[in-house]
């Protein structure tokens, strides 16, 4: 009886222990779950704070961006001031000369060379200045020498302004040789004060092709003779370039030997070359005669061709050989000797 009672008490104690252990483990797991959630929330908060900090430094309105913008503004103002000083110096020289010569024209006085001279090494004018006869304004691209280029405008009353917007060449003349693939030529869109993607269109790909429809620089390859309009657009601004393609055909250049020979052949020499190609002039011989040069007319009048080469002309051409008999002087024991 006593043994049964003790056994019963042991079983009851075991059940209480197991129940207490399970309850304790449940509470422990709940605590671990809460701790894990808190850790995840903490990590998320830290990531958000890190993102905010990075944005404050390198974002669109961040410290680094604002610093770069301020630097860009300073460089732009410096470039404008450099052009203003150069133009003022040039105008001082103009008025000094005008005082003694009233026929000096102010509009003609400003040239690329004269303005560049007054810049005195502070910057460089890229290309040539463009004069607007209607508005009496001068525009040009200015390289400040600090890896920055600006489109500048000088008004007739002497104000210097930076021109913002999109610019490309207004015309482009390309050449290709007949039956030969054309050579690509680059066109660059210059963005001043605007940002965004540059989009390109081509009105006639049979005349010329473009390498891409996006990007600040594309290549234009001539295909056939004709004209096409290539347009660039960015930020609502559109500019166009008229591209003219000329196809060069080979031109026949004939050298009439007039009874002479070249390399033991009496056949006239014919060269077929593209315009502008350098041709070495043949040097013919004729027994008993002296070569007197190549002439552009059959009457052999005027002056012969100068030098040993010519550039192939744009159209068919013929040249004639002039022969002359040598002059003799009687000496060397009566044997005639040619003097020329």
Q: Which of 171, 184, 243 is nearest to 217 (CA)?
A: 184
- At residue 291, the pLDDT reads 95
Give the pLDDT confidence score for residue 48 in this predicted structure. 81
Residues 327, 330, 336: CA angle, nearest 5 degrees: 70
pLDDT given for residue 43 in this prediction: 86
Provide the pLDDT for residue 319: 97
pLDDT for residue 149: 80
Per-residue model confidence (pLDDT) at position 26: 55
Rounded average pLDDT per 10-residue block, the chain, 340 residues: 54 53 56 73 82 59 67 84 93 92 89 92 89 88 82 88 85 92 93 86 97 95 97 90 95 96 95 93 95 95 94 94 80 54
Both tokens assigned to 299: 């009457």
């Amino acid at each position: 009886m006593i043994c049964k009672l003790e056994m019963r008490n042991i079983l009851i104690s075991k059940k209480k222990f197991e129940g207490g252990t399970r309850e304790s483990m449940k509470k422990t797991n709940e605590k671990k779950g809460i701790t894990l959630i808190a850790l995840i929330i903490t990590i998320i908060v830290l990531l958000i704070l890190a993102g905010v900090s990075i944005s404050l430094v390198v974002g669109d309105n961040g410290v680094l961006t604002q610093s770069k913008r301020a630097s860009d503004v300073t460089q732009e103002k410096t470039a404008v001031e450099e052009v203003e000083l150069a133009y003022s110096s040039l105008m001082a020289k103009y008025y000094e000369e005008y005082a003694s010569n009233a026929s000096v024209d102010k509009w003609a006085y400003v040239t690329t060379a004269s303005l560049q001279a007054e810049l005195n090494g502070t910057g460089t004018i890229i290309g040539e200045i463009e004069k607007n006869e209607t508005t009496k304004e001068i525009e040009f691209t200015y390289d400040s020498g600090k890896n920055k280029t600006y489109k500048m405008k000088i008004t007739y009353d002497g104000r210097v302004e930076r021109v913002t917007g999109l610019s490309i060449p207004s015309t482009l003349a390309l050449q290709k040789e007949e039956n030969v693939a054309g050579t690509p030529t680059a066109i660059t869109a210059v963005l001043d004060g605007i940002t965004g993607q540059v989009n390109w269109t081509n009105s006639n790909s049979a005349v010329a092709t473009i390498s891409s429809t996006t990007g600040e620089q594309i290549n234009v390859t001539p295909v056939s003779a004709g004209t096409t309009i290539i347009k660039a657009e960015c930020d609502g601004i559109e500019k166009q370039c008229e591209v003219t393609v000329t196809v060069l055909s080979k031109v026949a250049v004939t050298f009439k030997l007039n009874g002479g020979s070249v390399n033991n052949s009496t056949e006239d020499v014919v060269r077929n070359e593209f315009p502008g190609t350098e041709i070495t002039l043949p040097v013919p011989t004729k027994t008993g005669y002296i070569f007197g040069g190549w002439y552009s007319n059959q009457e052999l009048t005027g002056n012969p061709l100068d030098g040993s080469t010519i550039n192939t002309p744009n159209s068919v051409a013929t040249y004639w050989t002039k022969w002359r008999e040598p002059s003799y002087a009687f000496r060397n024991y009566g044997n005639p000797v040619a003097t020329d």
